[in-house]
Chains A and B, each alone.
Chain A
């Protein structure tokens, strides 16, 4: 069997002889959300030596959620439990997972160099699955009052607002979900949105409109968060009428979107104007060999998966799917022509 032979050959490779006493992995996966962990499952099952740089805070965005109701076959599972299962699954097939943060990469030559807060390592291929993080508003008072009434994670912080008055900023599915979680604790929840309609899915909007504790303030943006040791008031401006007013709130949850976690890759792979990693499609004609790899970045041997390149679907299941694709591409790349 050809495949078997190739794998055996790879396993017999001195995989830990990367020169200078540093081991060289077949696949280094950066990130430990659904994309990274699914990639780890496929890479290890393809007999590639695989390390996952999981970060000190592993598991990605799902660790900050409660119930996940749209992951096939696991309705009602909690986000953290889903990630624990994925992690156990990846470990079962031999992935090495380290709770270390990446501090630098060098993709300019092979093997690729990666530095974490604890070690230097080298790898023949890399899968970037660092995901995305909360986008903050960047208005006055936000930084100062973060964790003191200003939050981006209702499942984490909602219990502190029992019987209180809270606001949610945003109009997507995440904002609807945060508002609904908050109704279990807060007395009143006000969703503040800059447009006159939500972009959330119909089913989420319906739930929000049916919930008596939730009211909506349309066409309004936040100008400032006010308070000394904790949040006391939010100044909002109605952009249609141009009027500003201050409203008292005990807490505010910001869910206006996400920004890709790609700072560390600047200058290493091509990013788009919003910082998302660009897949190789542009280069397809120039580098025909690369064109075969759907999940390749602009650097051969460096692949991408999940929210760090995908601002369109952003689901646990699509991230997992992209992780699978990236790992299959990486395995094929390692086998060579």
Chain B
């Protein structure tokens, strides 16, 4: 299953108003660490499919949400629950860092 793309225009609907927790991957095509993170996030999206949804947002094309959440380094992944931020991982620090973020905030 590939990761769903979200935009500035549907961020509210797909992330903030989602009944399930959503992990948003802020990324860009020129960002190499983002490319390394992608297969890991795809695998996690499959493994955690009963618990949450993983989506990605291109920071170049969606400046509003990028600025709103003060994303100044990518990859940044933010976990949202009931419309609010509950956790954030800045930079690519490997699979374990993502798992820790999800475990800590979903349990």
Tell me the bound Cα distance from A147 to B76 in angstroms: 8
Q: Is B5 interfacial (CB 8 A cutoff)?
A: no
8 A-B residue pairings within 8 Å (CB atoms): A56-B36, A56-B94, A117-B95, A148-B73, A151-B73, A156-B32, A230-B70, A230-B72
Whole-angstrom distance between the Cβ of B6 and the nearest chain A Cβ: 19
Separation of A99 and B94 alpha carbons in the complex (Å): 10
A80 lies within 8 A of B32 (CB): yes
B31-74 near A? 1/0 per residue, CB < 8 Å: 11100100010000000000000000001100000100011111
Query: 17 additional contacts, CB 8 Å, given A156-B31, A159-B60?
Result: A56-B94, A56-B95, A57-B33, A57-B36, A57-B92, A58-B36, A63-B32, A63-B33, A80-B32, A99-B36, A117-B95, A146-B73, A146-B91, A147-B76, A157-B73, A160-B73, A161-B72
Kindly provide the distance from the CB of A188 to the nearest chain B CB, expressed in whole angstroms: 17
CA distance A56 to B36 in the complex (A): 8
Minimum CB–CB distance from A77 to chain B (whole Å) comes to 14
Residue of A nearest to B66 (CB): A160
Inter-chain CB contacts under 8 Å: number: 58
Q: How far does the Cβ of A112 sit from chain B's closest Cβ, in whole Å?
A: 23
- The answer to whether B95 touches A160, judged by C-beta atoms less than 8 angstroms apart, is no
Interface residues in chain B, defined as those with a beta carbon under 8 Å from any beta carbon in chain A? 28, 30-33, 36, 40, 59-60, 66, 70-74, 76, 90-92, 94-96
Chain B residues with Cβ below 8 Å from A111 are none
How many chain A residues sit at the interface, stated as a range, is 20 to 34
- Selected from A57, A58, A148, A159, the residue in CB contact (under 8 A) with B28 is A159
Q: How far is the CA of A57 from the CA of B60 in the complex (A)?
A: 23
Name the distance in Å between A232's Cβ and chain B's nearest Cβ: 12
Q: Which of B30, B36, B72 contacts A147 (CB 8 A)?
A: B72
Chain B residues, CB < 8 A from A159: 28, 30, 59-60
Q: In the complex, what distance in Å separates the CA atom of A117 from the CA atom of B94?
A: 11
Q: Mark A97-124, 1 if CB is under 8 A from B, else 0.
A: 0010100000000000000010000000
* Residue A251 lies at the interface, judged by CB distance under 8 Å to chain B: yes
CB distance from A257 to the nearest CB of B (A): 20
Contact call B32/A147, Cβ cutoff below 8 A: no
Of residues B33, B60, B76, B92, which shows the largest number of chain A Cβ atoms within 10 Å of its Cβ? B33
Beta-carbon contact of A148 and B72 below 8 Å: yes
A44 to B30, CA, bound (A): 32
- A151 CB to nearest chain B CB (Å): 6
Instruction: Report yes or no: A64 in contact with B32, Cβ–Cβ below 8 A.
Output: yes
- Give the distance to chain B from A154, nearest Cβ to Cβ, in Å: 11
Identity of the chain A residue whose Cβ is nearest the Cβ of B76 in the assembled complex: A147
Contact yes or no, B72 A156, CB < 8 A: no
Across-interface contacts of B28 in A (CB, < 8 A): 159
Nearest-neighbor residue (CB-CB) of B35 within chain A:
A80
Question: CA A146 – CA B93 in complex, angstroms?
Answer: 13
Give min CB distance, B66 to chain A, whole Å: 8
Specify which chain A residues have a CB less than 8 angstroms from the CB of B40 in the assembled complex. 56
For residues 153 through 200 of chain A, which have their beta carbon under 8 Å from a beta carbon of chain B? 156-157, 159-161
Tell me the complex Cα distance, A270–B33, Å: 32
A156 near B73 (CB under 8 angstroms)?
A: yes
Q: A63-B32, A80-B32 are in contact. Are A156 and B94 (CB under 8 A)?
A: no
Flag whether A131 is at the interface (Cβ < 8 A): no
The A123-155 residues at the B interface (CB cut-off 8 A) are 146-149, 151
Q: Which 6 A-B pairs have the closest CB atoms?
A: A147-B90, A56-B94, A147-B73, A160-B72, A157-B73, A80-B32
Name which of A99, A101, A160, A229 has the most chain B CB atoms within 10 A of its CB. Answer: A160
* CB-based contact A117/B96 at 8 Å: yes
A148 with B36, Cβ < 8 A, contacts A156-B31, A159-B28, A229-B70 known = no
